[in-house]
Every structure is written in structure tokens, then in C-alpha cells.
Chain A
Amino acid sequence: MSAFVLALTALGLSLVFGVMRIVNVAHGEFYMLGAVLAWACAHAVGTPVAGFVAAMLLAPLAVGGLALAADRWVLRRLDYHPESTIVATIGMLYVLQQAVLMLYGPDARPVPPPVYFKVEFPWFGYSGYKLVVAAVSAALLAATWVLIARTRLGLYMRAAQQDLEIAQAYGVPARRVYGFVFAAGAMLAAAAGVLIVPIEQAHYLMGLDPLLLSFIVVIIGGLGSLRGTLVAAFAVGLSDGIVSVFFSPTLAKIVATLLVAAVLVVRPGGLFGEERA
């Protein structure tokens, strides 16, 4: 999984955790839905470029709508209670997975990349599409940044994150902000799914790995810290490749997983995150 795609996915998870204080276990399924919808778009539209553009627009919208509905009918009714929402999102995970299995089937289906050229180095080749992924991800990350730092909505979000009650006292429409944040988190994951699918195939069980990796990133970056999440995503995304050169891949995963748990135990604020009260 490339660092950029990981950053997008993890940013979505981090946003939801930071503002709403809930752990969304179904986050990986939003990513999977993005990938599956990208396949559907590529299937419906003639050329790879048109399919890619359609998917980039439609998949996040559809997934965002679904997330909004989940927020309205499930999470809000649970009053965003941390443990209850975890159980509910585990439930969503299974419902989404199995619904996709029934409607889309068990196959891993490929989607042609919108551009097809290869950057050849003397010792290895590199697919040109990965540059597209980097560019689009960077644009989306920047857009999210602008949204949070420069808009009124972003102000509301930051206010809700710092202290919900005070924010509400100052007239922040907390419920609508929550709904929006949950949808935005899902849309980031869906966009990541659309971007990854020309590299990996769309498959109904593809959500678990990005979920675990995003957890790792969000924890190392500091729960709720968006800047930390970005730094950690690139650190993890790049080190993943380096670590597995030296260790057996499975051993590398064991070590990484335990280290992350240790980080959370020793430094609950994360390695890069600022300590919070």
C-alpha cells in the first residue's frame, strides 16, 4: 500500500476519531466500497480515463451518503458512546462485506489504470500510474487541510474537537458537524479505494489490512492529531518497504504490531502527536 493512499485512509480515520471520539471499525469497508464502486464505474463507462474520473467523483459521494445515513440512524442514536459505536461499526463491517459479496461476488476484479506508461530505471521499473496516485492524493490531502484550517466548517470541527460543550454553547451545530465529519472520513477512505484499485484489485475482503495499518498510523501519529497522522503515514508507508527487506515479512508485522501497542501504552499521545490533557 503506497504511503499516499495510506495517508488518505488514515486521515479519514483520524478525523473521525479526533472530532467525534469514536473508533470506526468499518473504516476499511468504506475503502473497499470505494474500490468496488470504481470497478462498477469502469464497467459502466467506456474508457479507463472516463471511468476513473467518474469513480473519483461518484464513489466518495455515494459512500459519503451511506456514512451520513449510518451516522443519522445508528451512531447518533447511540449518542456516540465509545464502546457502543465500536460494536455498531463492527456490525456495519459485516453487513457491508456480505452485501458486497452478494451483489458483486467473491472475485478480485481488476480495473485498468487511466494512464498506462512505465518509468524505467536501470534496475527496476515503476508504474506511471503511481505518480497519478501521488498527485491526486496530495491534492485531496491539501483540500482537507484547507477545509479544516480555512473554513467555518473547519473552525466548527476544531472547536468540537477541543471541547464539545463549550463549542455547543457558542452555537456550533454539533450534530451536523458530527454527521459531516463521519461522512468526510468515509469519503477519504472511498477516494483511497478508488485510487488503489488500478494497482490492487477490488475484492470484498480488502478492507481489513488498510484498517489495521490506519490504526497503526493513527496511534503512532497521536490519536486525533491530523499533522501527526500525516507524518506517521509516510513514516509507516516508507518504512514498511525497508523493514521487510531485513526481516521475514511476518516477523516484521509482529514486531510492528507490538511496537504500536507499546507506543500506545507508554505514550498515549503518540510519537509525533502533542501531549493532550
Chain B
Amino acid sequence: MSTGRKVLALHLAVLAALALLQFALPPYHHTNVARIMVLAGYAIGYNVLLGYTGLMSLGHAMFFAAGMYGAGLPVYYFGVGAPAAFGLGVASGTALALLFGLMALRTSGPSFLIVSMMFGQALFLVTLYFNDVTLGDQGFILSGKLAPLELAGARLAFEAPAVKYNLALAIFAGCLLAALALRVSALGRVLIGIRENEERTRLLGYDSFRYKLLALAVSGTLAAAAGAGYALLFSYVGSTFASILFSIYPLLWTLLGGIGTVLGPLLGTALMFYLVDTVSGITSSYLLFVGAALIALVLWFPLGVLGTLRGRWLPWLP
């Protein structure tokens, strides 16, 4: 089997496994996995920027929040249906990413990181400032406002566990396949080139600014898709999801799973979710473990789980 087909087979197998998993999971883990898949979409988006392009952002929550508010506000105020709301959420994320990129990509390295943090913080404050509309930190809920999804004649209520799970899976699959397609395309190779040596890539005739802007747009779009999905599936929109802590999470998940690997973000998100879930049953300071995990990861496993696997045994893993 050629490497390309092996890669495709692996990722389709992961998606198929997730689709089958819903029949085996006990109810508690059923919803957890649905949450994990949506959040993993966010981490995949983050990884497009950090892992493929080498740009570290500390403000990615702004894209997640753009998706969340972009989808949530139309539902809350105008009763817009779920598909249109999802589309609006994703479009808000893309637009914000392009706007942000046009300014922020003039910087790089730590400066880019600080600029992204400042923009993220500004958007967080905007959600508070316009509290007449956004209801600020308290946020608002969508249950009761969101009409069931009409699909091929069937009415799918968002409360139904199977609907939640499969929509989460669809969002995740979209993000995963988009990331995979980008990674194996010629475009993806240019991005990797920028990550490894931007100067040389530029000398080869590539306009690195345009490529970085494109990566940022893809990254922001995927993050926004996750944000919109989270709002619609879990019925809540609030400014916490725009805060700095929520920008740090995808960094952590990506690092844990493996920077620059396509499946790493899913693995990292799932591992971290269950680490917090288990630890919080033992001690209340679960953030202590988040912190310790971050330090341990950069010290001993800078490549993350899948990055280490790839380095040792699976060189073909994208």
C-alpha cells in the first residue's frame, strides 16, 4: 500500500471507529466524546497555524468565540435555523482571521504571540462591553430558541444524544479532513517550508505573507466551526470562551497530542479531558495538573505523543 493510501485509510479508520464508538459507549462517555470531538476541531485549527506554519498564537479563543457568537446571536435574537447559524459562525471566524492576519502577520515570533494575545483580550472585553447584546459573562442559552434540524424529512432534535454525537462527529470529520488535505497538498508543503525556514522559502519565490495569511484563515475557520458547533450542540454562549485560558487550552492539547500531526489534536484533547475529569475526582486543583503537564511536555516530550511515535516508529504519519 502506498503511503498516501495508508494515510487516507488510517484517518478514515479513525473516523469510522469514532462512528462505531457511539454504540459501545456508556451514556456519560457518550456526551464526553461528543464534547471532545468538537473541541478537537478547535485544536486541529490551532495546529494548522502552530504545527504546519510555526506561528504560536495566544489569542485563538477569539476565533472560537467568533464562531460561537456568530452562530449563537442570530439564533437567540432572530430564531435563525441551525445550518444558517453554523454558516454565519464559520464565516465570522474566517472574516476575523483575515482581518487579524492582515495586521498581525507583519510581526513574527514572540511579537506575533503578544499581538494575538492583545487581540484576544480585546475581543473578550468587547463581549463584555456590548453586554446589552451579548449578555456579557453570564451569557445566554439557546435551548428553546433552536428549531430542530430538518434533514431528509426527519426532524432531528438537538437534545437527542445520537444527534449531538453525530453532528459533533461531522464537525470533527470536516476539520480533520480539511487539515489532512492541507497537510498533504503542495500548499501544505510550502507552509512547512515557511515553518522550517521562512527566508529560504521566500527566496524560492513564494510570497510567505500570503501563505501565512491563508494558513491563519484556515486555522480561524476551523476554530470558528468548532465554536459554532459548541454553541449549537451544548446550547450555551458566554464570554468565558473568549478568555485567555481558552486560548491556552488548544496549545496544551496540540502539544500533548503532537505538534504538526494531523491526529495529535484529537488525542491531546481526549487525554487532557479525561486527565482533568479523573484528577478532579481526587483533588480540586486540576489546573495544577494542567500546569505540570505543560512543563513536563516541553521538557521531556516536546513532540507530543504522536510526534514521538512518528519519530520512533511511524515516519509516514502525517
How would residues 132 to 146 of chain A score, 1 for a CB under 8 Å from any chain B CB and 0 otherwise?
Answer: 000000000000000
Interface stretch, picked from B16-24, B156-164, B293-301, is B293-301
Give B120's nearest chain A residue, CB to CB.
A257
Most buried by B among A251, A254, A260: A254
Within 8 Å CB of A21, what residues of B? 110
How would residues 95 to 116 of chain B score, 1 for a CB under 8 Å from any chain A CB and 0 otherwise?
Answer: 0000000011011011101110
Within 8 Å CB of A268, what residues of B? 107, 111
| Complex Cα gap A122–B117 (Å) | 43
- Contact call B299/A92, Cβ cutoff below 8 A: no
- Contact call A86/B113, Cβ cutoff below 8 A: yes
- Contact call B285/A101, Cβ cutoff below 8 A: yes
Within 8 Å CB of A175, what residues of B? none
Known: A90-B248, A265-B106. A84 touches B119 (CB 8 A): no
Q: For chain A, residues 39 to 66, give those with C-beta under 8 angstroms from any C-beta of chain B.
A: none
Contacts across chains A and B counted by CB atoms under 8 Å = 114
Give A95's nearest chain B residue, CB to CB.
B291
Within 8 Å CB of A77, what residues of B? 299
| Complex Cα gap A167–B56 (Å) | 29
- Contact call A94/B291, Cβ cutoff below 8 A: yes
Q: For chain B, residues 284 to 317, give those with C-beta under 8 angstroms from any C-beta of chain A.
A: 285, 287-288, 290-299, 302
Give A21's nearest chain B residue, CB to CB.
B110
Please tell me the number of chain B residues within 8 Å of chain A, measured between CB atoms.
Answer: 39
- Contact call B298/A78, Cβ cutoff below 8 A: yes
Since A101-B285, A261-B103 are in contact, a sample of 15 more A-B pairs with Cβ atoms closer than 8 Å, ordered by chain A residue number, is: A21-B110, A78-B299, A83-B109, A84-B298, A86-B110, A90-B291, A91-B290, A91-B291, A92-B291, A94-B287, A95-B295, A258-B118, A261-B114, A262-B103, A265-B104
Can you report 12 A-B residue pairs in the complex whose CB atoms are below 8 A from each other?
Answer: A22-B110, A23-B110, A86-B110, A90-B294, A91-B293, A102-B285, A102-B288, A223-B111, A250-B128, A253-B125, A254-B122, A261-B114
A10 to chain B, nearest CB (A): 14
> Interface residues of A toward B: which range?
35 or more
Q: For chain A, residues 89 to 135, give those with C-beta under 8 angstroms from any C-beta of chain B.
A: 90-99, 101-102
| Complex Cα gap A270–B64 (Å) | 30
Task: Say yes or no for B187: interface residue by CB 8 A criterion.
Answer: no
Q: For chain A, residues 165 to 214, give those with C-beta under 8 angstroms from any C-beta of chain B.
A: 208, 212
A115 to chain B, nearest CB (A): 36
Task: Say yes or no for B84: interface residue by CB 8 A criterion.
Answer: no
| Complex Cα gap A97–B245 (Å) | 13
A17, A87, A95: which contacts B298 (Cβ < 8 A)? A87
B187 to chain A, nearest CB (A): 23
Task: Say yes or no for A243: interface residue by CB 8 A criterion.
Answer: no
Known: A74-B295, A88-B299. A212 touches B121 (CB 8 A): yes
B121 to chain A, nearest CB (A): 5
Known: A264-B107, A265-B106. A99 touches B288 (CB 8 A): yes
How would residues 34 to 48 of chain B score, 1 for a CB under 8 Å from any chain A CB and 0 otherwise?
Answer: 000000000000000
Q: For chain A, residues 238 to 265, give those with C-beta under 8 angstroms from any C-beta of chain B.
A: 248, 250-251, 253-254, 257-258, 260-262, 264-265
Task: Say yes or no for B65: interface residue by CB 8 A criterion.
Answer: no
B62 to chain A, nearest CB (A): 12
How would residues 16 to 30 of chain A score, 1 for a CB under 8 Å from any chain B CB and 0 otherwise?
Answer: 010001110000000
Task: Say yes or no for A215: interface residue by CB 8 A criterion.
Answer: yes
B58, B104, B119, B294: which contacts A94 (Cβ < 8 A)? B294
A97, A98, A260: which contacts B118 (Cβ < 8 A)? A260
| Complex Cα gap A212–B120 (Å) | 12
Within 8 Å CB of B287, what residues of A? 94, 97-98
Task: Say yes or no for B126: interface residue by CB 8 A criterion.
Answer: yes
Q: Which 8 A-B pairs have the closest CB atoms?
A: A94-B291, A91-B294, A98-B288, A91-B295, A95-B291, A261-B118, A98-B285, A257-B122
Within 8 Å CB of A74, what residues of B? 295, 299
A177 to chain B, nearest CB (A): 20
Within 8 Å CB of A262, what residues of B? 103
Within 8 Å CB of A82, what residues of B? 109-110
Within 8 Å CB of A102, what residues of B? 285, 288
Task: Say yes or no for A219: interface residue by CB 8 A criterion.
Answer: yes
B264 to chain A, nearest CB (A): 15
| Complex Cα gap A219–B115 (Å) | 10
| Complex Cα gap A254–B299 (Å) | 36
Task: Say yes or no for B274: interface residue by CB 8 A criterion.
Answer: no
How would residues 62 to 94 of chain B score, 1 for a CB under 8 Å from any chain A CB and 0 otherwise?
Answer: 000000000000000000000000000000000
